[in-house]
Structure 1
Amino acid sequence: MTQSDNNKIRVSHDSEQIDLIDLLIQLWRGKWIIALFIIIAALIAGAYVTFAKEKWTSTAVITMPDIGQIAGYTNVATILYGDTKVDINETQQRVINRFSGAFSALSETLSNQSVPEELTIDMAVKGQALPLKVTYQSDSAKNAQHGLAKYIQQVDEQIADELIDDLTMNMRLRVNELQASLITQEKIAQEQKDLRISQITQALKVANESDIKVPQAQQSDNLTQDSLFLLGSAALESMIKNESSRPLVFSDVYYKTKQNLLDIQRIKPDPENIHGYRYVMKPTEPLFRDSPKRSLTLLLAVVLGALVGAGVVLVRNALRHYQPRA
């Protein structure tokens, strides 16, 4: 019984060996068919890598601008509002955030064109807001590099123009504010002058009615409005003439306001002195294209062609020797 079982196992094992050898023989006999499919697949792959549009990606890394790159903005803002109201770090952060938003909007616009362009912006280091990595994909290494540099400059010029517009509007508002302040201070100074003349005129009237022509007080500094008539009518008449021709008297605040106004009016913001970013790494010229991958594509084509050719050979032989059961 044991011997019979051993014979069955041996026969089954031999049968498997014969089937495997037979399979290899069939594939060897159909090698020309397999080779034909490999050649066809290789030709198709070659045509694909030859005519398919190449994709190259250029990369740049940017961060917030240096102080000098936004000096054209901060200097004007300092003149407008003073040193205490201009935070350099906050301004740098606000500018790079504005740049990032504008760049993202441009990326979305390019992707929705009839012929889409792939422009991206993302964090260079995961979990950190800065620096930022920007990429652009084109049909050649040079075009990718130049295209990325062009779009970065385009957004930078846009941000500079927007900041100039903001400054221009703020300058206009600030000029109106300062001019209104000067008008108010001048009005107050004129009212003070008119009040002073009115007070002296009233004192002169009292002096005339009291028939006081010469000063009756030794020190005029101690005189109040009620006792001003003691200076005498002659002195009071002279004071009225002097006060009428005397220029308005302003406080230091008035002259500081006027100086600030003149400083603002002579400002001419230059967008060339305003930049929204600083390069950590300039746009690269890629050394390797993203697609198509020639070596990988041809290798996959050869493998696929061999598999298809082998399948055709085995199916053909199976159909040729197929015998339906009685």
Structure 2
Amino acid sequence: MHSSIDNELDVESCVQRLWRGKKWIGLGLILGVLLAWAYTMFATQKWLSVAQFSRPDLSKVTHYYQELSKLNQLSTYSDPASTTDNADVETVLDAVYQTFLQQLASVDNRRRFWLEQGRADKAESMTPTRLDRRVASIQFAAGDKLHGTVDTLSLTAESAASSSQLLKRYLAFTDQQVMDQVQQQLSAAWQSEMTKIEQQIAFEKSVAQAAYDQHVKQLKNEAAQSDDNQTKAAINVVEQTGPVASDSLLRDQARLAALQSGPTSLKPFTSWTMLQSPEPPISRQSPRLPLLMVMWGLVGVIIGAGIALTQRVKKKE
């Protein structure tokens, strides 16, 4: 019976011990807060800049749309008098924006950006470890229409100003990559269309030549049978004229001549519409001084309380 009572916690005695050792608790609190403050002074700071965007409007990619419309009008399977074959606006805008998003989230694109920044800033050596950290500092989050979210890009840097500036540079860098890729796709589509028209022209010429040879052969047979001077004169006219080009052949030759000039170089364009500009952040992402002061202060209080209780026990002994 006495042993169970002896093992019970004496709350009143503990409170008295803590009160007598309050200087240790206060000292632990102060030390914890000071350590938290000192840590934030020397720890690497992280400032997060955020940009949000959506699909561009037609005014941003007008030149590219015009080049696509021109290509579609000159297509082998299009009717020059029809306007229904022009590039669909929505399809073009979606294609450009999807190319932008793919480049934006690409690890290779981020790596090329930081390597270029490293070459521009010769004072900083871009080691593989540093490069991996820089690549991870850029994060892309795809939007979800069902949940009302938009496409978001964030960049973490060591200062508020640099995080905003670097994010703007990355957007401009990605825009250039998109423009280069779109230009390559347009040139490839242009060349493919030229190849198809050249093949079509070669086929139409072979058909016209076969028809011409058949007609000349028929006239010669008639001339040999009848010895008609009129037929012989017709043969001379046909031979001097040569194969007759059909309307489709003339149209394809005109298309080929128009395509041979090639697509014009695209003017710089923006493949997105900004919803939230990457302004310098107001507060840093890490380290968070208030949170660290609270956490380390609590740790200091706990350590101080332990010392106070231990000191009291030693006095009794």
TM-score by length of 2: 0.76
For residue 295 of structure 2, what is the aligned residue in structure 1?
Answer: 300
Which residues of 2 match residues 163-312 of structure 1 at below 5 A?
A: 163-208=182-227, 233-246=228-241, 248-273=243-268, 275-312=270-307
Shift of 1:275: 4.4
Shift of 1:290: 1.0
* Counterpart code for 1:35: G
Number of equivalenced pairs: 282
Shift of 1:316: 1.0
| SS of corresponding position for 2:262 | coil
Match of 2:129 among 92, 96, 114: 114
The C-alpha deviation readout for 1:297-320, integer Å capped at 9, x for no partner, is 234333432332122112211232
The C-alpha deviation readout for 1:11-47, integer Å capped at 9, x for no partner, is xxxxx9x964x65554444343333323322221121
Between 1 and 2, higher relative CO (CA 8 Å, sep ≥ 6) is seen in 2
Give the direction of change, closer, same or farther, for the CA distance of 1:105–1:91 in structure 2 (3 Å limit).
Answer: same
| SS of corresponding position for 1:134 | strand
Q: Is 1:93 aligned with 2:88?
A: no
* Counterpart code for 2:204: Q
Give the direction of change, closer, same or farther, for the CA distance of 1:276–1:29 in structure 2 (3 Å limit).
Answer: same
Stretch of structure 1 that moved more, 132-141 or 151-160: 151-160
Give yes or no for contact 1:72–1:269 (8 Å, CA) kept in 2: no
Whole-Å Cα distance in 2 between the matches of residues 309 and 281 of structure 1? 48
Shift of 1:109: 6.1
* Counterpart code for 2:282: L
Whole-Å Cα distance in 2 between the matches of residues 92 and 99 of structure 1? 11
The C-alpha deviation readout for 1:138-176, integer Å capped at 9, x for no partner, is 111111112212222222222222222222222222212
For residue 74 of structure 1, what is the aligned residue in structure 2?
Answer: 65
Any stretches of 5+ residues in structure 1 without a counterpart? 1-15, 209-232
The C-alpha deviation readout for 1:42-75, integer Å capped at 9, x for no partner, is 2211210101111111111122222233344433
The C-alpha deviation readout for 1:109-155, integer Å capped at 9, x for no partner, is 66995121321111345636973111111111111112212222222
Give the direction of change, closer, same or farther, for the CA distance of 1:146–1:129 in structure 2 (3 Å limit).
Answer: same
Whole-Å Cα distance in 2 between the matches of residues 42 and 23 of structure 1? 25
Give the direction of change, closer, same or farther, for the CA distance of 1:253–1:87 in structure 2 (3 Å limit).
Answer: same
For residue 47 of structure 1, what is the aligned residue in structure 2?
Answer: 38
Whole-Å Cα distance in 2 between the matches of residues 187 and 275 of structure 1? 47
For residue 11 of structure 1, what is the aligned residue in structure 2?
Answer: none
Shift of 1:108: 9.4
What CA RMSD, in Å, does the superposition of the two structures yield over aligned residues?
3.1
For residue 138 of structure 1, what is the aligned residue in structure 2?
Answer: 157
Task: Decide which structure has the larger Cα Rg and report it.
Answer: 1
Give yes or no for contact 1:123–1:132 (8 Å, CA) kept in 2: yes
The C-alpha deviation readout for 1:59-115, integer Å capped at 9, x for no partner, is 111222222333444333333344527333233223323322232222896699512
Any stretches of 5+ residues in structure 2 without a counterpart? 1-8, 74-83, 115-126
The C-alpha deviation readout for 1:165-203, integer Å capped at 9, x for no partner, is 222222222212211211222222233233322222222
For residue 3 of structure 1, what is the aligned residue in structure 2?
Answer: none
Give yes or no for contact 1:159–1:275 (8 Å, CA) kept in 2: no
